[in-house]
Amino acid sequence: MTLGASSSSSPVSPQDRTDQVVAVDCNGADLGPAEVAAGAAIAAAEGVRVILFGPAEELGEPPPGVEIVDAPVSVAKARDPVGAVRSTPEASIVQAARAVADGRAQALVCAGGTGAALAAGTFNVKRAHGIYRPALALPLPVPGRPVTLLDVGANAEARREHLVQFAFMGAALSRAVLGVERPRVGLLSNGEESTRGSALVVEVHAELTERSSAGLDAFEFVGNVEGGDVVAGVADVVVTDGFTGNIALKLMEGVSQTILGAVSAAARSSTRGKLGGLLLRGALGSFRDEVDPEASGGAYLLGLRRLGVIPHGRFTRSGFAKAIARAERGAREDLVGQTQLALSQAGALRRSPVSASAASLRETG
């Protein structure tokens, strides 16, 4: 049953009802829209209400709690995502973002195409009041508890006030969605000393130190964090610009995949290795689950009027289900509201420019 030319949805049982609805763009996933729909079914079985936007013929019959909007057009792989979003209002990601903007849904999940998701979210859901730039935050699968790294690609260039806001955004995400009571926030740099790093890093360090000294309830600022300490657990949130953050993320992904591949090849290279692998299978299985990137649900698009979650296109249904559940939790815990409150209390929101006429009235008043 679909929406588009026609509409319908399966009923939601009273015990499964929630005020939060998640709009999901199904196009762009490596395993196809049906895999995203399967993930939505898992989330719906846990009580999350979902609206799927994608090719109805591939999504199947919706289970209870799931509604389908027939939206076969995809711009997930467009070379110019901004232009594609502007010129293709019928695209699934645009329709999903509009559903959030119109209040039909309270959170957005995009199953592929970060650029398209960022553009559609910014144009339709729009930036939250007082926010300079949206940011992409990714909980890294670190054993023990995740470390949130942001920005990981939304802003190749950033100013001091942007990174200061990113610190508050990341702390709110860590607290509301990941359950860290008082997150420790660090600033990615090439040394622990306050004078190390680029001019931007030094500026941001000075401001966050000053705010911390004045009393900061939103998070604990732990200073600079070197690259090797990002996954060492010295901070719950690590802040940087999108250019540096994306390179750091891709480097960590590449190293981890190479090492895991080498370990696997060594275990299969001899009879002794194979026996050792059998003995370690249980422990390694638990470790694999702990560092599974699907467990975090993907990257979080912060700084908009509603929360967005962007799972990796290669995720399976399990990862998409987690992304939808995390989006629902973020909406239910009012992540956007918590971020706004913390920024407002800290005086870190962007102030609207004063018009010439208003300034003139002030001077003559």
Rounded CA-CA distance 43/34 in Å is 14
Helix or strand holding residue 58 (H, E): helix 56-59
DSSP string for residues in 136-178 = EEEEE--SSS-EEEE-SSS-SS--HHHHHHHHHHHHHHHHHTT
pLDDT for residue 12: 39
Rounded CA-CA distance 117/173 in Å is 19
Are 285 and 163 in the same domain?
yes
Torsion of CA 337, 159, 80, 250, to 10 degrees: -90
- Structural domain includes residue 362: no
pLDDT for residue 13: 41
- The C-alpha angle 332, 112, 229, rounded to 5 degrees, equals 75
Res. 283: pLDDT tops 60? no
What pLDDT digit, counting tens, does each position of 206-248 carry? 999 999 888 788 899 999 999 988 888 899 999 999 999 988 8
Are 171 and 282 in the same domain?
yes
Are 143 and 127 in the same domain?
no
- Structural domain includes residue 76: yes
- Structural domain includes residue 358: no
What confidence tier does 280 reach under pLDDT thresholds 50, 70, 90? low
What pLDDT digit, counting tens, does each position of 354-365 carry? 444 444 444 444
What CATH code is carried by the domain that includes residue 210? 3.40.718.10
Query: pLDDT: is 263 or 27 the higher one?
Result: 27
Give the range of the structural domain holding residue 71, as residue numbers without chain letter.
1-131+303-349
Helix (H, G, I), strand (E, B) or coil at 267: helix
